[in-house]
Amino acid sequence: MNYTATEMMTISAARALCNSDVCFVGIGLPSVACNLARRTHAPGLTLVYESGTIAAKPSVLPLSIGDGELCETALTTVPVLEMFRYWLQGGRITVGFLSGAQVDRYGNLNSTVIGDYRKPKVRLPGAGGATEIATYCGRIFMIMRHHPRAMVEKLDFLTTLGHGPTGRERRQFGVMTAGPVLLVTDLCMMQPDPETNEFMVTSLHPGVSRDQVRENTGWEVRFAGEVEETEPPTEKELQALRDLHASTERAHCGRAVTA
Amino acid sequence: MALFQPLPDAVSTLVHDGDTVALEGFTHLIPFAAGHEIIRQGRSNLTLIRMTPDLVYDQMIGSGCARKLVFSWGGNPGVGSLHRLRDAVEHGWPNPIEIEEHSHSGMAHAYSAGAAGMPSAFFRGYLGTELPAVNPSIRFLDCPFTGQRLACVPAHHPDVAIIHAQRADREGNVLLEGIVGVQKEAVLSAKRSLVTVEEVVDDLAVTSPNAVVLPSWTIAAIAVVPGGAHPSYAHGYYSRDNSFYVAWDDIAKDRETFAVWMRQHVLEQGPDIFGERARLCT
């Protein structure tokens, strides 16, 4: 079966989640990957959304983190303060799945501004839950499209801590969790060098060259000693992903726009 | 005791120019009808507090109601930008807007401190982010017992909190259920509060395990506005109008298109239009 680079990205991100994970899900690409994992190899994966819905089992992708179906299918729904205080800060979440407008080589994220903070060229949505998700989930997975403007040498603003500006600041800030351990893009998979915490390419998606990755990365990208080739999507994975998108499309856009 | 009032009267009594106002509802139960009434009454110089400004603050900011925004995530969920918010921040249109930016955890803690009568909230947050460098309201202190570094934010004490709820009983006690967000904290942190409800019933019939019940004496005014959360939703009454959230992107992108839409759908309408809009989402 033919597949797109975006499908490869989503499927390889989904594979990183396992049945026993309790995952704090961001909207957009992370939500697609998490819901795909539940439909394929990890039916027991627990999805937690910041709206307070714990163990949500949506039949289609929610458009927002607070769609009604998340609450209807959840094991329980808690107030937002409790979600951040007991469940996240209390250390109950094993993995957080994040994305952002910019990431640097140490997995720090910017979702605040492009340009100067006081006179931004582009005002982005801001931190939301990410700042605390990144410091209190056991591990962080990141998913982003590979582009030199997204994978940058220097962030315009550090919204969310990865391994810190020089890769070594997590402990200094009193953060005891592992931080970003995986960055999945539409070209490759990257993992931090155990010595320096710099993200390096550990697996290239089928048909992607090293030069392609270099051209699309804003810093001088490094490759692991042994770079693997990502397993192409199976027919089952692709079908599950396409079904998910098709049913989502029907659910959200079937109705005429009102008001 | 809560006073039952038509929405225009309640807004006119409770919301004044220059007030600090919090319209809360985390994706669910966003008080759009009340936001539109504030726009129609031409309120200005407001400090708007809200975790996720959402379309309702995009509309209020684009209409020139706001002087300052206190928030934690200002996007159109699953769609992209809030173009009116961006235009105000990036180009000062229709007026420059001051922003005070937090994380979700910081905002939720600030409401909770307000509700608890505390001057500030402290928690384990804002570690390693540059937000404290641009927001002097984010500070740090050491735990007196362990020395652990804790983030500290001032409590929210809005002049008015406005929420939408599923129902009120005839005494003015209010029930909301489903995704309950930070509404209880917002109401209890505020000097005055206004609640719009889907309906008034004889008995609140509290059955859901996470129902929030606000006693009548915590509320200044209740206005019955069926559909008053549209295009957000009211669990058990109507669902989120996701297609409208998608459509808003094009409406809000352009100043003129936005102005025309606001004239037609907000300025020339009243609270009664919401019932009809929500019925299309059931």
Question: pLDDT (tens digit, 9 = 90+) per residue, A81-126?
Answer: 999 999 999 999 999 999 999 999 999 999 999 999 999 999 999 9
Query: So what's the ipTM on this one?
Result: 0.95
User: Quick one: pLDDT at residue A259?
Assistant: 31
B232, B230, B271: which is closest to B41 by C-alpha? B271
Spatial separation of the C-alpha atoms in residues A60 and A248, rounded to whole Å: 5
Q: pLDDT tens digits, residue range A130-140?
A: 999 999 999 99
Tally the C-alpha atoms within 13 A of residue B271's C-alpha that lie toward its C-beta: 24
Dihedrals phi, psi of B70, to nearest 5 degrees = -115, 120
DSSP single-letter state for residue A45: P
User: Quick one: pLDDT at residue A28?
Assistant: 85
| Interface residue A238 vs chain B (CB under 8 A) | no
User: Quick one: pLDDT at residue B210?
Assistant: 82
| Interface residue A258 vs chain B (CB under 8 A) | yes
With CA atoms as reference, the chain A residue closest to B186 would be A81
| Residue for token pair 């109401």 | B187
pTM of the model: 0.96
Closest chain A C-alpha to B201 CA, distance in angstroms: 23
Closest chain A C-alpha to B37 CA, distance in angstroms: 16
A228, A241, A244, A247: which is closest to A7 by C-alpha? A241
Mean pLDDT by 10 residues, chain B (282 residues): 97 98 98 98 98 98 98 95 98 98 98 98 97 98 95 98 98 97 98 98 88 97 98 96 95 98 98 94 88
B175, B155, B173, B156: which is closest to B165 by C-alpha? B175
- In CATH, the number for domain A5-250 is 3.40.1080.10
| Interface residue B180 vs chain A (CB under 8 A) | yes
Q: Which residues of A touch B125 (CB under 8 A)?
A: 89, 131-132, 135
**Which of B26, B179, B213, B235 to probe the A interface (max A CBs under 10 A)?**
B179
The region that residue A210 occupies, defined by phi over 0 for left and psi between -120 and 50 for alpha, beta otherwise, is alpha
Spatial separation of the C-alpha atoms in residues A81 and A60, rounded to whole Å: 26
Q: In terms of DSSP H, where are the helices of A41-138?
A: 68-73, 80-82, 130-136
The 3-state DSSP class for residue A4 equals: coil
Measure Cα distances from A196 to A138, A216, B128, B175 in Å.
20, 22, 18, 53
Q: pLDDT tens digits, residue range A204-221?
A: 999 999 999 999 999 999
Indicate whether A257 pLDDT > 50. Answer: no
| Interface residue B239 vs chain A (CB under 8 A) | yes
Q: pLDDT tens digits, residue range A112-123?
A: 999 999 999 999
- B141-163 burial, b for 16+ CB within 10 Å, e for fewer? eeeeeeeeebbbbbbbbbbbbbb
User: Quick one: pLDDT at residue A187?
Assistant: 98
| Interface residue B152 vs chain A (CB under 8 A) | no
Q: pLDDT tens digits, residue range A179-198?
A: 999 999 999 999 999 999 99
Closest chain B C-alpha to A242 CA, distance in angstroms: 18
| Mode of pairing for the β-strands spanning B174-176 and B160-169 | antiparallel
| Interface residue B216 vs chain A (CB under 8 A) | no
Contact A122, A141 (CB under 8 A): no
| Interface residue B1 vs chain A (CB under 8 A) | no
Who contacts B215 (Cβ-Cβ below 8 Å, separation ≥6)?
A: B173
Query: Which one of B90, B112, B243 has the shortest CB-CB distance to A123?
Result: B90
Dihedrals phi, psi of B139, to nearest 5 degrees = -130, 175
Closest chain A C-alpha to B196 CA, distance in angstroms: 20
Contact A134, A9 (CB under 8 A): no
Dihedrals phi, psi of A5, to nearest 5 degrees = -65, -35
Q: Which residues of A touch B181 (CB under 8 A)?
A: 51-52, 66, 79-80
**Which of B50, B73, B266 to probe the A interface (max A CBs under 10 A)?**
B73
**Residue A28: both structure tokens together:** 């957009």
Active site residues of A: 50
Q: Please answer yes or no on whether A173 and B240 come within 8 Å at the CB atom.
A: no
User: Quick one: pLDDT at residue B245?
Assistant: 96
The 3-state DSSP class for residue A210 equals: helix
- The full set of domains in chain B, from first to last, is 3-102+157-279 (3.40.1080.10), 110-154 (no CATH)
Q: Please answer yes or no on whether B243 and A66 come within 8 Å at the CB atom.
A: no
| Interface residue B20 vs chain A (CB under 8 A) | no
Beta bridge partners of B99: B69
With CA atoms as reference, the chain B residue closest to A125 would be B74
Tally the C-alpha atoms within 13 A of residue B155's C-alpha that lie toward its C-beta: 18
**Which of A60, A81, A89 to probe the B interface (max B CBs under 10 A)?**
A81
Q: How many CB atoms lie within 10 A of CB A115?
A: 13
Closest chain A C-alpha to B267 CA, distance in angstroms: 13
How is chain A split into domains, by residue range? 5-250
User: Quick one: pLDDT at residue A253?
Assistant: 65
